[in-house]
């Protein structure tokens, strides 16, 4: 079921554009007056409440009362434009009291508002990269996801990295599925989104800190490595030939066949395609 979003506004431009831009993501209810919006809040649970800062007759006390007595379900408060100071303070206190997410202020731009809603409501945002910067002094990659979450990934945990200088900035590829790094040695490698979460997000189901995860991965990596090596040798291919067919670097494939780390889904898909098989054939026990 799609999440419900309540928008308190009289801006017809916002109403029409927002409805069409996020119809695939959520159900939007528009209230043209503060009183009507507050009544809606008291009658139904909304995942997101968007308040137009230019809505006439905004009453901060009435708003605070409505927020306090709204159904206690997880929700986010978005202000479209900056609220008056007293209203903003009331909102912040009420949101904290109800243990909602931190209130967000969105500049009066429909594209920015749509982007915020997609970051908050689209499950794919949690696994889609938005941008990456390399921090040479810290030797880390600062990685931002579309959800708004950010992580600092140490370069040393990436086995495909050969320690030569990074050239330019990393580039997000595969529609946010990975980021690509180029090195002075000529080595190029891709870091998939799940690799970042594996190392940096404790709530990720496959985080390296999960009980028994390392042992399970070690056994899986060794099994996959043996299967790839067996399939490659059965075809009479060298590592160089497999590298040519997959578009990967020979050192990366060598590390893969060593069984020292669990390959990403993207890597498995490229290898399986080159071998003319399926990913399931490579990972099957």
Provide the pLDDT for residue 74. 52
First vs last C-alpha separation in the chain: 36
Q: What would the CATH number be for the domain defined by 125-200?
A: 3.30.2020
Dump pLDDT digits (tens) for 146-183: 988 999 999 998 888 889 999 999 999 888 988 999 99
> Residue 72: what pLDDT?
60
12-16, 31-35, 281-285: which has the minimum mean pLDDT?
281-285
Mean pLDDT of the chain: 87
Instruction: Say whether 213-283 and 4-121 share the same fold.
Output: no
Residue 230: per-residue pLDDT: 92
- Predicted local confidence at residue 60, as pLDDT: 83
Cα separation, 186 vs 120, whole angstroms: 38
Does 154 or 44 have the greater pLDDT score?
A: 154
**SS3 of 86, please?**
helix
Domain ranges for the chain, please list them: 4-121, 125-200, 213-283
pLDDT-derived band at 212, boundaries 50, 70, 90: low
pLDDT > 80? residue 201: yes
Which pLDDT score, from 0 to 100, does residue 280 have? Answer: 80
Q: What is the pTM of this model?
A: 0.62
What's the CATH number of domain 213-283, 3.40.50.720, 1.10.260.40, 2.40.50.140, 3.40.190.10? 1.10.260.40
pLDDT recorded at residue 285: 61
- Higher pLDDT pick, 39 / 209: 39
Burial of 56 per CB tally in 10 Å (0-12, 13-18, 19+): exposed
Question: Per the CATH hierarchy, to which homologous superfamily does domain 4-121 belong?
Answer: Response regulator (3.40.50.2300)
What's the burial of 285, exposed, middle or buried (CB within 10 Å: 0-12/13-18/19+)? exposed
pLDDT range class, residue 229, cuts 50, 70, 90: very high
Pairing of strands 48-52, 178-182: unpaired
Tell which wins on pLDDT, 228 or 123: 228
Identify the pLDDT of residue 59: 84
DSSP 159-173: TT--SSPBPS--EEE
Task: Tell me the mean pLDDT in the region 98-104.
Answer: 76
Task: With cut-offs at 50, 70 and 90, classify the pLDDT of residue 231.
Answer: very high
pLDDT at residue 32, rounded to an integer = 92
- The pLDDT score that the predictor gives to residue 15 is 85
Which band of pLDDT confidence, cut at 50, 70 and 90, is reported for residue 211? low
What would the pLDDT profile of 124-148 be if each residue is shown by its tens digit? 898 899 999 999 999 999 999 998 8
């Amino acid at each position: 079921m799609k999440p419900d979003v309540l928008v308190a506004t009289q801006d017809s431009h916002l109403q029409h554009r927002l409805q069409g831009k996020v119809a695939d993501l959520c159900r939007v209810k528009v209230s043209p007056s503060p009183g009507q919006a507050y009544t809606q809040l008291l009658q139904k649970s909304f995942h997101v409440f968007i308040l137009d800062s230019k809505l006439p007759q905004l009453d901060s006390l009435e708003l605070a009362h409505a927020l306090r007595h709204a159904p206690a379900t997880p929700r986010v408060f978005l202000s479209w434009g900056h609220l008056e100071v007293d209203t903003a303070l009331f909102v912040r206190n009420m949101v904290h009291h109800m243990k909602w997410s931190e209130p967000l202020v969105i500049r009066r731009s429909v594209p920015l508002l749509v982007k915020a809603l997609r970051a908050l409501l689209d499950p794919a945002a949690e696994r889609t990269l938005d941008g990456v910067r390399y921090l040479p002094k810290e030797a880390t990659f600062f990685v931002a996801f579309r959800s708004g979450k950010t992580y600092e990934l140490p370069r040393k945990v990436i086995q495909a990295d050969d320690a030569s200088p990074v050239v330019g900035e990393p580039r997000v590829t595969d529609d946010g599925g990975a980021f690509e790094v180029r090195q002075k040695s000529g080595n190029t490698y891709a870091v998939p989104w799940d690799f970042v979460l594996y190392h940096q997000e404790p709530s990720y189901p496959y985080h390296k800190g999960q009980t028994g995860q390392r042992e399970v991965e070690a056994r899986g990596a060794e099994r996959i490595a043996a299967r790839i090596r067996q399939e490659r040798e059965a075809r009479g291919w060298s590592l160089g030939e497999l590298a040519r067919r997959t578009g990967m670097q020979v050192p990366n494939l060598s590390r893969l066949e060593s069984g020292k780390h669990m390959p990403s889904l993207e890597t498995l898909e490229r290898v399986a395609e080159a071998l003319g098989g399926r990913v399931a054939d490579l990972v099957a026990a």
